[in-house]
Structure 1
Amino acid sequence: MRTNLPITQREYPFPAGQALVSTTDLQGRILYCNPAFIEVSGYTREELLGQPHNMIRHPDMPEEAFRDMWQTIESGQPWSGLVKNRRKNGDHYWVMANVTPLLDGDRPVGYMSVRTLPDRQQVSEAETLYARMREAASRGGGGGPRLQAGRLAPQGVLARGMDRLQGDGHWRTQALCLLGVAGGWGCAQLMSIWPGRLSTTAAAALLAAGLSVGVAALIRRQNQEPLKDLLRFANRLAAGDLTGQLRAGQAGLSGRLACALNQLSVNLMAIVGDTRAGVDRLRHTSQDLAGGNRDLAERTESQASSLEQTSASMAEITETVRHSADTARDVADVARQAADVTARSTEAVREVTVTVEAIADASRRIREITQVIDGIALQTNLLALNAAVEAARAGEQGRGFGVVAGEVRQLAQRTSVAAREIKDLIEDAGLKVEAGSEQTRRACGTMEEAQAAVQRMSELVAGISAGASEQLNGISQINEAVSHMDQLTQKNAALVDELSSASETVTVQAQAVTEAVAVFRLDAAAPALAHASDAVSLRREMKARRLATA
């Protein structure tokens, strides 16, 4: 017997309300196991399928239990009993195992095991019994407790006989026949001793014995045959075969039981049929949902990639606009500075214009003064001429006065010449001052126009700077919106992944339910275990999956 190690002697709590279900082929290799079985065993589905069922056998289980189980199910009968199984990590769990042959007609093609939670009293009794069996097996020579169809077999000939009488109507009928025969034989012996007096009594006794045998045979025929049919039908139901029907019309309890079993079979067929149809629809729906989720995942991934590229482009545009806004602000500052310089230059030109105009006014005044000097020189010259005339008249006495008059005339002439030269210079300077004044006025006008242009440019640059700032704010908001959309897309992608996982889980669960209800046969032409694969190919497939996920 296979020994699985290590063991921890820690008991794993059996989940209440759960049933651990598995199916095997005739060699005991696992073809199907439900999620509860997988969870409690501690193995993965890939580690279980295709493997021998005794991989979960606990070393504390005696060989006698499995001998009785195989002997019972190979005869086509169901078996029930307490079993201690081993988990992958060495822990153990107790189950009430119910093993049923899966039949194709009258031929077993596999076995289905349904394990439920036993009560603690049963577990305690099983631990004690199995310990006695292990102790007897270690001593050798047999003689230990034995099991029969999952029950403790009685010890001794008398106990076995009483057990058969209590449990099997066939043995009760045979015992009644034997009693009748024994009574008849006793009467025959008495007739040989007292032939005269006991002839009538003996005849009656023999008749009673014959009637007893006939009645016993009739009772056996009427009771045993319907019960055998009911038992065969119940075993087929237990094996999941819902295709048969019992012959109706029988009287009594057996007839009512046959009707009830037929109704149970029909109800189960309807329930299983609806379940299969619903699971098929669920599987197709989950597959469609999985396909839609895959398409949505691809589109979401594409959208996320586009948003990522858009976000990168928006970041570049944001940086460019920010640089333009900074440049516009710098240009605005330079324009304001130029406006200030232009304003100061305009003011300086105005001051120069005022100064030139003042110089022009001074030149005009000098020209007037020069004219006065020229007039004085002319009058002085006239006076000098008059003095010279008078000196000439005076003769020798007026000679000195004549000399003075000549000098005065020469001085007046030089003054007149100088005054004319000054006048010419003043006039020339006045012309130049007027020209300069005109130029300064034109320069002042030009500077005022330049100042207005610079002010306009400053206003335009300020508008550009404000627009760039607004664009920067708008692009920043767009960038935030794109980032938010990217976050939403990432969340949507995560949600799509969750939906894909959920749809895959639903598909797996639908497949598990499909495999579970596939145990039931609704069509007599369909083979038993139609869902099961060959154990060897199944084991290879599971090994390939384990290697792929490693």
Structure 2
Amino acid sequence: MRSNQPVTQQEFAFDENATLMSTTDASSHITYANDVFIKVSGFTPEEINGQPHNIVRHPDMPPEAFADMWATLQQGEPWSALVKNRRKNGDHYWVRANAVPIVRNGQIQGHMSVRTRPAAQEIAQAEELYKEFREGKRKGWRFHKGLLVRTGALRWASLLKTMPLRWRIRSALLALWPLSVAGVWALGLPAQPLAIFSAIMAVLLLLATGWLEQQISRPVERLCKQALSVATGACQQVDQMDRVDEIGTTLRAVGQLGLMFRWLLEDVSGQAVNVMSASDAIAHGNNELSRRTEQAAANVQQTAATMNELTATVKSNTDTAQQVNTLSASTRDAATKGGVVMKDMVGMMAEIADSSKKIANITSVIDGIAFQTNILALNAAVEAARAGEQGKGFAVVAGEVRSLAQRSAKAASEIKSLVENSALKVESGSVHVNDAGKTMEDIVSQVQNVTSLIAQISSATAEQATALSEVSLAVEDLDNITHQNAERVEEGAQAAGRMTHQATRLVEAISVFR
């Protein structure tokens, strides 16, 4: 027998309302185990499915108990007893095992065991009993279909536990025959009438035995067979009986229970398949939605990155526009000042022109004075020549005066020429300065227009930067929402997967009875 080690002798107490259920094939390999059984055993589904059922056998269990279980199940009968099982970590748990064979088309195809938690008193009694069996202290005892019975000469003490109903009836009636004969003999009946009475009683008891077997034991056997069919999920139809007494009604009720059980299995199985199909469709849709959500999240992230870059660019443009606006304002101020200077220069050029005209007038006066002085000098020279020797000195002075007048006239003429040239240049400069002033005025006007446009651009750029910041925040919120949606979709996909798993497990559980 398999010995699973090590053991800790630490009991694992599971919920008293829990039901552990498993099925095996004909070779005792696990084909299905419900979640409670897997949890209590400590194994994973992968570790327990397909393994021999003795993977949970505890070494404290006596081999005689399992030998009795398999012998009972091979006979097609149910078996029930307390069993100590081992968990994966070496701890143990006690169950009341209720095992039945799974019979299909008259062949045993596997076994099903449903376990519940026994009472503490039952556990203590079973612990002591199994210990005595392991130590060989239970000579003259054995297990029979889960019950403890006597063997050997004292086996009769356990007849009431093992005797079939048919033999209970037969033994009861058989006991009546010698008692009735002995009673009549005690009354003094002669031998010949006594023999006749004995024969008649024997015949009557035989007839009564047959009748009671037909009325009680056989119907009860049919009832037992019907109940076993229901327990193993093999009840396809109700075994009818032409009677409506307690046995007939019970047989009908058991058969009806089997049909209701079958209907429930079929209906739940169909609904489970529908749920599984729907959950598969939901899972597929969630997977597709998850893929698209992830793609949308990636697009939103890319958009967010682009918006951040665009925001940075617009912010840089805003700063540049503000700098340009400042420079434009400075240029406007400089151009305005240049216009004022040009106006002042035009005025100065006009004043220079006026001064040139005055100088020209003064030069004309000097030239006239020089001409008169020269005339006078000539006259003085003439008068000095007439005077002779007395006028020589005066003649020299008159010559010097005439020479000075001539040089003054020449200088005045040159000054006049220079003043005229200057006047012409001043006049030309005035024209150019006027043109430059007008051009400067145009420049100032254009600079003001450019400054206004740049101010508008700066304001619009600032508004765009604000709008882009808001759009960037909105994109970030959309990114967060998209990620949250992706998480919710993933949770939905996981929930659909769990639903599919549960539906699959339900179909597997129902298939045990199909």
Given the two structures, how large is their TM-score scaled by the length of structure 2?
A: 0.90
CA distance in 1, matches of 2:222, 2:120: 36
- Distance change in 2, residues 1:190/1:410 (3 Å): closer
Matches within 5 A, 1:17-32: 17-32=17-32
CA distance in 1, matches of 2:3, 2:47: 18
User: Does 1:304 pair with 2:331?
Assistant: no
CA distance in 1, matches of 2:158, 2:490: 67
CA distance in 2, matches of 1:271, 1:465: 78
What secondary structure is seen at the aligned counterpart in 2 of 1:361? helix
Residue 22 of structure 2 contacts residue 30 of structure 2 at CA under 8 Å; is this kept in 1? yes
- Which of 507, 525, 528 is the equivalent residue of 2:500? 507
Residue 339 of structure 2 contacts residue 437 of structure 2 at CA under 8 Å; is this kept in 1? yes
Matches within 5 A, 1:165-176: 168-176=164-172
Q: Unaligned stretches of 5+ in structure 2?
A: none
- Which of 211, 218, 225 is the equivalent residue of 2:211? 218
Residue 176 of structure 1 contacts residue 216 of structure 1 at CA under 8 Å; is this kept in 2? no
Bigger RCO (CA 8 Å, 6+ sep) = 1
Deviations 1:273-310 (A, max 9, x none): 22112112111111111121122122223323333333
CA distance in 2, matches of 1:504, 1:483: 31
AA aligned to 1:442 is: D
AA aligned to 2:255 is: N
CA distance in 2, matches of 1:144, 1:405: 189
Deviation for aligned residue 1:239: 0.4
Deviation for aligned residue 1:331: 3.6
Deviations 1:85-132 (A, max 9, x none): 111111221111111111114332111111122222222222122122
What secondary structure is seen at the aligned counterpart in 1 of 2:32? strand
CA distance in 1, matches of 2:60, 2:17: 26
Q: Which residue in 1 is equivalent to 2:69? A: 69
What secondary structure is seen at the aligned counterpart in 2 of 1:233? helix
Matches within 5 A, 1:84-163: 84-136=84-136, 143=139, 145-154=141-150, 157=153, 160-161=156-157, 163=159
CA distance in 1, matches of 2:466, 2:375: 92
Deviation for aligned residue 1:389: 5.6
AA aligned to 1:21 is: M
AA aligned to 2:88 is: K
AA aligned to 1:472 is: A
Q: Unaligned stretches of 5+ in structure 1?
A: 522-550
- Distance change in 2, residues 1:209/1:187 (3 Å): farther
- Which of 267, 270, 281 is the equivalent residue of 2:260? 267
Matches within 5 A, 1:134-533: 134-136=134-136, 143=139, 145-154=141-150, 157=153, 160-161=156-157, 163-164=159-160, 168-183=164-179, 186=182, 197=190, 200=193, 203-204=196-197, 206-385=199-378, 387-388=380-381, 400-521=393-514
CA distance in 1, matches of 2:161, 2:110: 33
Deviation for aligned residue 1:24: 0.5
What secondary structure is seen at the aligned counterpart in 2 of 1:146? strand
Deviation for aligned residue 1:203: 4.5
CA distance in 1, matches of 2:253, 2:407: 165
CA distance in 2, matches of 1:500, 1:111: 36
Deviation for aligned residue 1:454: 2.9
Deviation for aligned residue 1:423: 1.6
Q: Which residue in 1 is equivalent to 2:50? A: 50
CA distance in 1, matches of 2:143, 2:367: 166
Aligned-residue identity in percent = 41
CA distance in 2, matches of 1:415, 1:68: 164
CA distance in 1, matches of 2:428, 2:380: 46
CA distance in 2, matches of 1:361, 1:512: 118
What secondary structure is seen at the aligned counterpart in 2 of 1:153? strand
Q: Which residue in 2 is equivalent to 1:2? A: 2
Deviation for aligned residue 1:520: 2.4
What secondary structure is seen at the aligned counterpart in 2 of 1:114? strand
CA distance in 2, matches of 1:397, 1:13: 171
Residue 237 of structure 2 contacts residue 259 of structure 2 at CA under 8 Å; is this kept in 1? no
What secondary structure is seen at the aligned counterpart in 1 of 2:135? helix
Deviation for aligned residue 1:243: 0.1
What secondary structure is seen at the aligned counterpart in 2 of 1:243? coil
Deviation for aligned residue 1:368: 2.3
AA aligned to 1:82 is: L
Residue 238 of structure 2 contacts residue 256 of structure 2 at CA under 8 Å; is this kept in 1? no
Residue 181 of structure 2 contacts residue 194 of structure 2 at CA under 8 Å; is this kept in 1? no
CA distance in 2, matches of 1:162, 1:309: 85
Residue 140 of structure 2 contacts residue 150 of structure 2 at CA under 8 Å; is this kept in 1? no
Q: Which residue in 2 is equivalent to 1:524? A: none
CA distance in 2, matches of 1:80, 1:166: 14
Deviates more, 1:199-208 or 1:103-112: 199-208
Q: Which residue in 2 is equivalent to 1:80? A: 80
What secondary structure is seen at the aligned counterpart in 2 of 1:515? helix
Aligned pairs, number: 514
Deviation for aligned residue 1:265: 1.9
Deviations 1:327-364 (A, max 9, x none): 44444444344334434433443343333333222222
Given the two structures, how large is their TM-score scaled by the length of structure 1?
A: 0.84
Deviates more, 1:251-260 or 1:211-220: 211-220
CA distance in 2, matches of 1:169, 1:239: 23
- Distance change in 2, residues 1:381/1:263 (3 Å): same
